[in-house]
Structure 1
């Protein structure tokens, strides 16, 4: 029962939208009505600069760190940790607090992944950099790297359940970035 409540709490943590808060504090504006309308670090960066981008990215990343760190502290299973990761990311992408229109989840995912498995994160970063050199596109390099994360995790942990759960997380990340992927491929 505690695990279910924790996963629900993870979704609620995901609903804390750093970009929305930063823009309200900075100029009182609603970020959904400004720039691209996206509730994420990239839009904040375009609107108020690097400092706003960094604050937002760190805040969103900390959501993932907090949720996975808490799950580890409570000694939850790897499966509950991955379900919590899924919940915090879904909370960021589809927050009920902003009528289910949030950010794209990159910083939250990276913070959660780093806390969940630093070695997988390191391998992801290396793969990302290789793809970036080849593809010359951050979006395509990131999504290519994301697509390989479940395989990397399977190789390291030999857990089919972890592979499937991480596959679901990655599928959601690719789904929400699909328009950007298609744009880069055209």
Structure 2
């Protein structure tokens, strides 16, 4: 077993659930709790030990959830049920989650002091989350959404990229933004 330390950020729904889930799974592997998210108890583990493993795993999962996200699951004692319930809530391709993610992408704006690399990376994460929910945008629309996330001080760059062009690609916009910075 490794002595590696994992810094898992508390999941409050503002971050990327899939990344959070992968980090918690890393903690499970380190602690030997990864078996707890399996639906069936392994034959070589006794009933009492299985309950303890599940309680510890549930506690570990909840310890990385913000209070608002943890509250509905405080009574759950089986890690696989808790794990699946969280996936259903945050990864499910339902209309509510799609709307939430679309709002995050469409309201996304540049934060002063942020590097352009960080801004583009955050934009791409939001777009990837939507793609994982089977929501797609054309490359041109993605380029325009990224441009619209910028402050007015980038307006001359927008004009340069769009003047005389019917289409602009996300790659062109990203390249121009990296060069501008």
TM-score by length of 1: 0.34
TM-score by length of 2: 0.34
Higher helix residue share: 1
